[in-house]
Structure 1
Amino acid sequence: MKTSTNVLHFFFLFYFFFWGQRICFSAITGVMETQTNEAFRSKFLSVLRSRRSPEVPLVAECSKPVENPIFQADVPSSEAIESCPKENIDNLKEMLKEENLHLHTEAGEQGRLPLLILSLKESTEERRPAIVFMHGTNANKEWLRPWLEAFASRGYVAIGLDARYHGERADSKTAYRDGLISSWKNGETMPFIFDTVWDLIKLAEYLTQREDIDPKRIGITGISLGGMHAWFAAAVDTRYSVVAPLIGVQGFRWAIDNDKWQGRVNSLKPLFEEARIDMGKKEIDKEVVEKVWNRIAPGLASQFDSPYSLPVIAPRPLYILNGAEDPRCPLGGLVVPLKRADQAYKKTAPPGHFKFKAEDGVEHEVTSFMIKESSDWFDKFLKQGNSTTSD
């Protein structure tokens, strides 16, 4: 009996020691994951702050509607965004409240962030869910209007904005191209993705202060360049609680290493041609590509690339939608990022908070399927009564 008692005593000691260690290890792991996320955001913020104009008070000023918005290329088709589900309201135009604002995010002309905000004049909710919408390269916030109206009709506060050197922030039809080349030449700005991400951080600060918006229910989405803006803004700022980037998520480092950079580079060809000439090269090659990314968006092809930035969005709901044949966002570059993101979500989020879809037969274009899927995603996690999680 004594031997049996000793054996049981040893068993219970071992059991509690084992589970205690396991619980302790899990707690440590959770702390390490949190510290890793915080370290990522700290490093990213440090880079964003490294090329900033002086800070200014966060003030939103009223402005006027834009009558003739600037498109720096052919006007893209709006067929897909016009298919976005909306409430059947006969007099929707009259029911909508429209705000045209300029939000000051830093000193200088590019520090005036133009906003187009649509919402229903009457609502059953005192504080409503909000979604930020980002346009693609060479477009503007006015092009987003059908998308904004559809979400506003369904009770959201819908926010469109002009990215750096686009729309009201463009003084010519070559403003974005010129801004990119200037960044390559002097290294003083980061017009490709990062400067607009800074604006989105400031925008989140503004939106969480508004009395008509629920600060815990703010989503973000975008198309192409706008998808990249949405992805990186969510990675650095947890106030964006639900995320759905469209045809934007890619692997910059993978593309360089696997000679798949041409699709993305060709979308910004004048920039890379200028760099090629400056580097004395006969043609654009991987060395040119890497140097350009390091110059105009430091860390984009290394520490802030998708394998490292996607996992830190967890546990907030994230739905990535791409085209399966997209040369700008080749699927091979997403294998590792998606695996790491999936692991992060399995550790930190309830089932169903992370989703990826590559639409068959689709290249670099947004489709009605993507618009509908992302619309359902926001309804699932931002509508009243549905819960979201944040870290």
Structure 2
Amino acid sequence: PTTITRHLLSSTRHVCCIPRVPPHLPTPYKYQFQIVNSSIAGSRVTETEMEVNGGAVSDPETIRSQFLQLLRTRRDAQLPLTVEPAKPVVKPLFQDVTPPTFSEAMESCPKANIGNLKELLKEENLYLHTEAGDQGKLPVLILSTKGNNQEKRPAVVFLHSTHKCKEWLRPLLEAYASRGYVAIGVDSRYHGERASSLTTYRDALVSSWKNGDTMPFIFDTVWDLIKLADYLTGRDDIDPTKIGITGESLGGMHAWFAAFADTRYAVAAPIIGVQGFRWAIDNDKWQARVDSIKAVFEEARTHLGKNEIDKEVVEKVWDRIAPGLASQFDAPNTVPAIAPRPLLIVNGAEDPRCPLEGLEIPKTRAYKAYGEAHSDKFK
């Protein structure tokens, strides 16, 4: 059964879908990839038109298979997953103009009432080699409490927002660890230990537009998270059926797409990350998201001979740096594909980067998907 609750609190709307059914284990994928041409007679099909003409363009397994094949097309060779020990990061790199030094919200994360928590915490730092090249080295921070190593525990992967890093998440990871979870943070592509300057992420986005050989916005990090699931499901201290994934902003997008792509993530809770990219283009609500990574759009504007960033620029950038993001891999198809696993989507009621109106179609399709999964408490 599934439970959905909605309430308004501090200008934030929460939509919670919690189906209590066993998660599906991963199934073999057929790798036949093709970018769907969403134009008919020279005009692009909008989300509304897709809804009228039969809803989602394909079943979840087909969409998932297409997405995984897209990820594979950008990798020259498949490498065996290897693990390398690492040292704690003393001075983490933040790519903000003004690096954050303190967050009352982060520091006030509710921890279990354990007097000697710091002494009980066990910290692991390691690298997973997920593919060839510098960005194929995934830095991982794992916190848990010392105890019986034979006990398999639930795990939570928490993902950081733009320009931050896994060390920023330490208060959250400690809070989860204090409550019996194995808590995991990673540096997303071109962030944290995978960055060499204050402009590494920006430069990677611009390079992707110019060369089209990488997908630094969302998709390449999802590849890492699939490899992370390979590692986590093989650990003796983690219950492989109880691995959750969450994150904020960019991390929320990563959590959304990782849960869509890999059913080993048994529960997902993306925070201010899920949005309708196609809806934003069609309804002229793309400006706030574009402003968050504006350099790549300015580069595209110049290259396309435009005086200003417009819908055409936005659409071409998404198609270049994250193919399918505003079409077959957009929220109307990928959010329902998470069913029947538990899903919590948290968006701000007035967040211009993730307008709630853009989630109406994904929500409708998700309701249908959870209903078809016989989640009889779904509302």
Taking the aligned partners of 1:124 and 1:69, their CA distance within structure 2 comes to 30
Taking the aligned partners of 1:81 and 1:321, their CA distance within structure 2 comes to 17
Q: Per-residue deviation at 1:311?
A: 0.4
Aligned position for 2:5: none
Aligned position for 2:270: 245
Q: Per-residue deviation at 1:56?
A: 1.6
Residue of structure 1 aligned with 2:227, choices 199, 202, 217 = 202
Q: Per-residue deviation at 1:350?
A: 2.6
Aligned position for 1:78: 103
Residue of structure 2 aligned with 1:105, choices 130, 137, 153 = 130
Q: How does 1:337-352 map to 2 (within 5 A)?
A: 337-351=362-376
Aligned position for 1:307: 332
Q: Per-residue deviation at 1:55?
A: 2.0
Aligned position for 2:65: 42
Aligned position for 1:292: 317
Q: Which moved more, 1:242-251 or 1:83-92?
A: 83-92
Unpaired stretches in structure 1, ≥5 consecutive residues: 1-32, 355-391
Shift in CA distance, 149/349, structure 1 to aligned 2, threshold 3 Å? farther
Aligned position for 1:256: 281
**Higher RCO (CA-CA < 8 Å; seq separation 6+):** 2
Taking the aligned partners of 1:91 and 1:53, their CA distance within structure 2 comes to 48
Residue of structure 2 aligned with 1:64, choices 81, 87, 111 = 87
Deviations, residues 338-386 of structure 1 (Å, cap 9, x unaligned) = 11111111111534568xxxxxxxxxxxxxxxxxxxxxxxxxxxxxxxx
Q: Which amino acid aligns with 1:49?
A: R
More strand by share: 2
Shift in CA distance, 199/353, structure 1 to aligned 2, threshold 3 Å? farther
Q: Which amino acid aligns with 2:282?
A: D
Aligned position for 1:54: 77
SS at match of 1:302: coil
8 Å CA contact 1:61–1:102 kept in 2: the answer is yes
Deviations, residues 6-41 of structure 1 (Å, cap 9, x unaligned) = xxxxxxxxxxxxxxxxxxxxxxxxxxx9x8221011
Matched, 1:118 2:143: yes
Taking only the aligned residue pairs, the percentage that are identical comes to 69
Q: Per-residue deviation at 1:54?
A: 2.3
Q: Which amino acid aligns with 2:299?
A: E
Taking the aligned partners of 1:353 and 1:132, their CA distance within structure 2 comes to 25
The root-mean-square deviation of aligned C-alpha atoms, in Å, is 1.5
Residue of structure 2 aligned with 1:154, choices 160, 179, 184 = 179
Q: Which amino acid aligns with 1:50?
A: T
Q: Which moved more, 1:133-142 or 1:55-64?
A: 55-64
Taking the aligned partners of 1:343 and 1:178, their CA distance within structure 2 comes to 41
8 Å CA contact 1:204–1:240 kept in 2: the answer is yes
Deviations, residues 173-228 of structure 1 (Å, cap 9, x unaligned) = 10000000000000000000000000000000110000000000000000000000
Q: Which amino acid aligns with 1:89?
A: I
Taking the aligned partners of 1:353 and 1:225, their CA distance within structure 2 comes to 28
SS at match of 1:260: coil
Q: How does 1:1-391 map to 2 (within 5 A)?
A: 36-73=59-96, 74-76=98-100, 78-123=103-148, 126-351=151-376
Q: Whose Rg is larger?
A: 1
Q: Per-residue deviation at 1:50?
A: 1.1
Q: Per-residue deviation at 1:53?
A: 4.1
Q: Matched residue pairs, number?
A: 321
Shift in CA distance, 124/350, structure 1 to aligned 2, threshold 3 Å? farther
8 Å CA contact 1:316–1:349 kept in 2: the answer is no
8 Å CA contact 1:102–1:115 kept in 2: the answer is yes
Taking the aligned partners of 1:221 and 1:84, their CA distance within structure 2 comes to 15
Q: Per-residue deviation at 1:82?
A: 2.9
8 Å CA contact 1:317–1:353 kept in 2: the answer is no
TM-score of the aligned structures, taking structure 2 as reference length: 0.82
Taking the aligned partners of 1:100 and 1:305, their CA distance within structure 2 comes to 34
